[in-house]
């Protein structure tokens, strides 16, 4: 019985679809079923109340300038790029994930800095792949390290210009100990 009390039946003023609404204080203002019906009702109101403005809208919306803004797809889109080779290529995440899993297995899920097995691990590219795309899947260019160490390295040295010298500096100065000490306390 209580559930019936909560439900109120109304019909859309435009398409006459049955609406089953929860009983609330603003039930009176809910008269339409969708944004499409809101648009239809508003345009018919404009057409009825101000026919000159309606004619202007119809004329304006069918100009080439207005059509450029409408949802064109594919080669008809104004921002279509004919030569896709000019678009910056993104990393292939499936291939990269498969490569990382192979490296984890090969290195026995062990952090190569701390020697700890398991936990949250990351694969770090010693020479960054943003500028050296050919080094992305080279096993000698990657090292398995704890996620905290990986995040700390990129926090200190950034993600764009990753070099072997920066990595060696990070290891020689033992900067990775910062995050390991935080985890132990």
Model pTM score: 0.50
pLDDT tens track for 78-94:
677 777 665 655 566 78
Q: What is the pLDDT of residue 1?
A: 47
pLDDT surpassing 80 at residue 114:
yes
94 contacts 124 by C-beta, under 8 angstroms: no
Q: What's the whole-number mean pLDDT along residues 136-141? A: 90
**What is the domain partition of the chain in residue ranges?**
2-72, 93-184
Question: In the structure, what pLDDT confidence band is assigned to residue 107 with cuts at 50, 70 and 90?
Answer: very high
DSSP-H helix ranges across 24-176: 35-49, 51-61, 64-69, 93-106, 147-157, 164-172
pLDDT tens track for 142-184:
999 999 999 998 888 888 888 889 989 888 888 878 777 654 5
Q: What is the pLDDT of residue 21?
A: 78
Residue 120: partners with Cβ closer than 8 Å, 6 or more residues away: 146, 147, 148
Q: What is the pLDDT of residue 7?
A: 78
Q: What is the pLDDT of residue 71?
A: 66
Q: Give, rounded to a whole angstrom, the gap between the first and last alpha carbons of the chain.
A: 59
Q: What is the pLDDT of residue 109?
A: 92
Q: What's the whole-number mean pLDDT along residues 122-150? A: 88
The DSSP output letter for 173 is T
Q: What is the pLDDT of residue 92?
A: 65
Q: Report CA-CA distances (Å) from 122 to 96, 111, 119.
A: 12, 9, 10
Q: What is the pLDDT of residue 185?
A: 43
pLDDT tens track for 38-77:
888 888 888 888 888 888 877 777 776 666 666 667 777 7
């Amino acid at each position: 019985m209580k559930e019936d009390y909560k439900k109120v039946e109304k019909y859309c003023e435009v398409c006459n679809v049955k609406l089953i609404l929860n009983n609330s204080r603003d039930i009176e203002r809910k008269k339409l079923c969708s944004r499409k019906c809101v648009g239809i009702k508003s345009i018919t109101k404009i057409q009825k109340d101000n026919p000159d403005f309606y004619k202007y809208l119809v004329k304006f919306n069918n100009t080439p300038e207005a059509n450029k803004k409408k949802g064109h797809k594919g080669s008809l889109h104004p921002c279509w790029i004919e030569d896709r080779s000019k678009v910056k290529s993104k990393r292939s995440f499936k291939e990269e994930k498969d490569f990382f899993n192979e490296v984890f297995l090969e290195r026995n899920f062990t952090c190569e800095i701390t020697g700890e097995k398991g936990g949250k691990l990351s694969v770090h590219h010693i020479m960054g792949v943003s500028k050296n795309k050919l080094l992305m899947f080279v096993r000698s260019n990657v090292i398995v390290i704890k996620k905290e160490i990986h995040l700390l390295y990129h926090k200190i040295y950034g993600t764009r210009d990753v070099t072997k010298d920066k990595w060696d500096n990070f290891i020689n100065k033992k900067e990775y100990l910062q995050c390991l000490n935080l985890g132990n306390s």
